[in-house]
Structure 1
Amino acid sequence: MIVKPSGTSNNAFFVIPEDADDLFTLRRIVEKHDHVIADTNRVIKQVKEYGRPDKGERIKVRVCIRVEQSELDAAVDRLRITGTIVETDNELVTKGTHHSLSLEAGDSITIDKGRKWQDVEIKMLKRSGISASFILVAIDTQEAAVARVSGTHVKVIPNIYSGQSGKRYQTKNNPNIETYFTDIAKTVSSIIGENDKVIIFGPGETRRRFFNALVGRQEIAKERVQVVDGVDVAGEDGIFVFLRSPQMKEAMSASKLASVSSMLDRVMLMVNKGEAKFAMGMHEVSQAAELKAIETVVFSDSIFKTANEEQLVKLLNSIESIGAKTFAVDSSTDIGLRVSSLGGIVALLRYAVR
């Protein structure tokens, strides 16, 4: 998440969420009576003399709303903030009327609390602002997949195909492989962020040849690109094999995804050993939170189907206020499915509570 102090107030921050994890962080931060400034679309109806108002025209306006409610949709890919308009840059927009802002990744808003921000709120913003992201390339001579890992979320780009069989690429001077590499490099360049790192893997020597081609374009510094051995699968399947591998934890040790994967491995080891320094499901995690026993908690977006959203937000905020770490994962990923199968929320404890 991009976070900057706002020039409008000492109590305001300008933010741009970059993924679903950031949207949930904002859901936990935005409260009733906060002021939120954003660009939005609103239908403006002109009242004609001796007649009814026309159907109206949808125009872009900037509004400041006093928040009444904020909620995530079922897919957790947008945040809906509802309230009354208190300020606007268009005189045709009536103040005091209700309006809903629909916030997606990439949209910007300014949050003004009208008070000094709490330490836990600042902590959540700053933590979201320093997350490491990675571009993954699973490649062989016939196909390649590119994915971006941001926080605990994975976005896979559809496979890129060379259109050739493997043996045709055995010669060093093959114009077709250069075109293939160029297509992949363009895809990487189109999604890479300023501080993102690139990890290349796959069978054979194609991964190293692509590394040389990518670095040779001089668009991405050599220090930001890494070749990983031991993952001998290319394409989309290769992406998911890598994300389940020990190589992922080593190459992406600074990522949220690696942290969550390691935590789940520790929990499963405790289950096998009969140790009790973990909690699963809302009931057990809530009990552990009351005892301030939680060290780390991870939850899947699938929990929104069964748990009360407001109660979940309060639970997570209380957990974070005592210094524990919280992670959200996408239920469509392998790690998200693991968390969903364990009750949707799992906590690693400082000490056993049962």
Structure 2
Amino acid sequence: MRILEIDEKENLIRLYVEDEDDLWVLHLILEKGDKVIARTTRDVSLGKDSRRIPMTVELQVDYTEFQQYTSRLRIHGIILDAPERFGIKGAHHTVNLDIGDEIVIIKDKWSEFALEKIKRQAEKKGKLLIALVDFDEYIIATPMAQGVRVLAERSLPTPNKENEGIIEENAKTVAEEIKSFLLSLSTNVLILAGPGPFKEIVARHLQQGIKLYLDSVSSATRNGLNEILRRDIIDQVYRDYELAEEVKVMEKIMENISKDTGLVAYGKDDVQKAVDYGAVDTLLLLEDFLASDKREEFDPLLEEVERKKGRVMIVPRDSTIYYQVKSLTGIVALLRFRIN
């Protein structure tokens, strides 16, 4: 995400959408009543004919729809301003926001939470590819703000004495697919891991120029993927990537719960009490609460956490910690100090 313009007097921010994660963040921060200005198309009657005409409109947001792992955010609302000749002011309309589009967002008041989400997204580094490989299987994935996206998950011909060359053939096959995904993601950062020496064989078939990090995991499966996400290597490669941080925060929370340290609060009332004391270090909140009629109830709490120098982390539905957070009421905080 690139910030193109900030007009504090008009409460306006102009943004350029660079990838799917940007769309996800916009989905989180856009609220009912916000105004957006963006390019769109609309069917317009021209005499006896009807044509889809490109135009720029100002829309008052009703709600947004985001389909995970797509490159489109749908913004539904009422047209406040559009070219006069089309006579569409006051009509319902949907702006389809894609990668490569610009959008202007105008709020009556920008919350600390929304500003911080935009700032962090604008500062994010390039994408990261993770490949877990073994002699007979592999899985390739990329972390995204909305969760981990599995790009490929395949079996390989099993090595045998009759065809010892199959190992090199498998390594070449995996290396070529890795290179293809690195190209499509426009990244050269790769974590290559596995339970045995096959990863080193694959590494030999990868060209120079790739920022390669080797590690070991118990299997080249989704379980291995969850394992690698908990490793320090993620921080080494992607220190500001929220997905890895969420997992680590959750581990600290569970450790403190097991030790009964008093440094965890969960449930809205207890978390609000901790926020009032300025005790919240990191707050985990399920995205469900921002995509429902509960949003207005939680927004002031999120803003207060950010204002008191705490951090808010929104947990998407396919996060590896989603159900752990849900089991703790969907809102849980790691505290700086005990409040009881």
Cα distance in 2 for residues equivalent to 1:272 and 1:179: 45
**Aligned match for 1:267, one of 235, 245, 253:** 253
Asked whether the 8 Å contact 1:280–1:343 carries over to 2, the reply is: yes
Taking the aligned partners of 1:169 and 1:328, their CA distance within structure 2 comes to 50
Q: Secondary structure at the match of 1:334?
A: coil
Provide the C-alpha distance between the structure 2 equivalents of 1:262 and 1:213, rounded to a whole number of angstroms: 33
- The offset of 1:268, in angstroms, is 1.4
Cα shift at 1:252: 4.8
Report the alpha carbon displacement of residue 113 of structure 1 after superposing the two structures with TM.
2.9
Please state how far the C-alpha of 1:339 moved relative to its aligned partner: 1.4
TM-score w.r.t. structure 2 length?
Answer: 0.81
**Structure 1 unmatched runs, 5+:** 49-53
Tell me which amino acid in the other structure corresponds to 2:327.
S
* Superposed counterparts of 1:69-80, under 5 Å: 69-71=62-64, 78=73, 80=75
Cα offsets for 1:1-57 (capped at 9, x unmatched): 3433389x99431232744685345543556353x2223332223443xxxxx6x44
Match of 1:23, as an amino acid?
W
- The answer as to whether partners of 1:67 and 1:82 remain within 8 angstroms in 2 is yes
Measured in 1, the distance between the counterparts of 2:11 and 2:299 equals 26
Matches within 5 A, 1:250-329: 252-303=238-289, 308-329=294-315
1:340 corresponds in structure 2 to: 326
Indicate if the aligned counterparts of 2:192 and 2:215 stay in contact, CA closer than 8 A. Answer: yes
The alignment partner of 2:140 has SS state of strand
1:67-100 per-residue CA deviation (whole Å, 9 max, x = no partner) reads 2534456989845341323134x94352343323
Q: Are residues 62 and 254 of structure 1, via their aligned partners in 2, closer, same or farther at CA, if it must alter by over 3 Å?
A: same
- Tell me the CA shift for residue 207 of structure 1: 0.8
Distance 1:166 1:157 in 2: 28
How far did residue 269 of structure 1 move?
1.9
SS in 2 for 1:85: strand
Shift of 1:66: 4.1
State the AA in 1 paired with 2:254: M
Counterpart in 2 of 1:28?
29
Mind listing any 5+ residue stretches in structure 2 that lack a counterpart?
A: none
Which one-letter code corresponds to 2:43 in the other structure? Answer: V
| Cα pair 1:76 1:301 within 8 Å, conserved | no
Flag the 1:24–1:188 CA change in 2: closer, same or farther, 3 A.
Answer: closer
Q: What is the aligned partner in structure 2 of residue 61 from structure 1? A: 54
- Cα distance in 2 between the residues matched to 1:95 and 1:294: 45
CA distances 1:104-143 after superposition (whole Å, capped 9, x unpaired): 6x36342243899676654331111223442110111222
Please say if residues 24 and 72 of structure 1, whose CA atoms lie closer than 8 Å, have aligned partners that are also in contact.
no
Number of the residue aligned with 2:213: 226
1: distance between equivalents of 2:314 and 2:22? Answer: 6
Q: Which amino acid aligns with 1:85?
A: L
- Matched-pair contact (CA < 8 Å) for 2:112–2:306: no
Letter of the 2:244 partner, please give it. A
Offset at residue 246 of structure 1 (A): 6.1
Q: Distance in 2 between matches of 1:279 and 1:64?
A: 44
Q: Could you say which residue in structure 2 is the equivalent of 1:211? A: 203
CA RMSD of aligned residues (A): 3.7
Amino acid at match of 1:84: I
Distance 2:161 2:240 in 1: 38
Work out the CA distance in 2 between the residues paired with 1:167 and 1:333: 41
Partners in 2 of 1:273 and 1:176 — Cα distance?
47
What CA distance in whole angstroms lies between the structure 2 residues aligned with 1:252 and 1:306? 31
Partner of 2:138: 144
CA distance in 1, matches of 2:292, 2:135: 45
Q: Which of 92, 99, 121 does residue 98 from structure 1 map onto? A: 92
User: What letter matches 1:276 in structure 2?
Assistant: G
CA contact (8 A) 1:83 1:99 kept: yes
Contact 2:306 2:312 in 1 (8 A): yes
Match of residue 42 from structure 1:
42
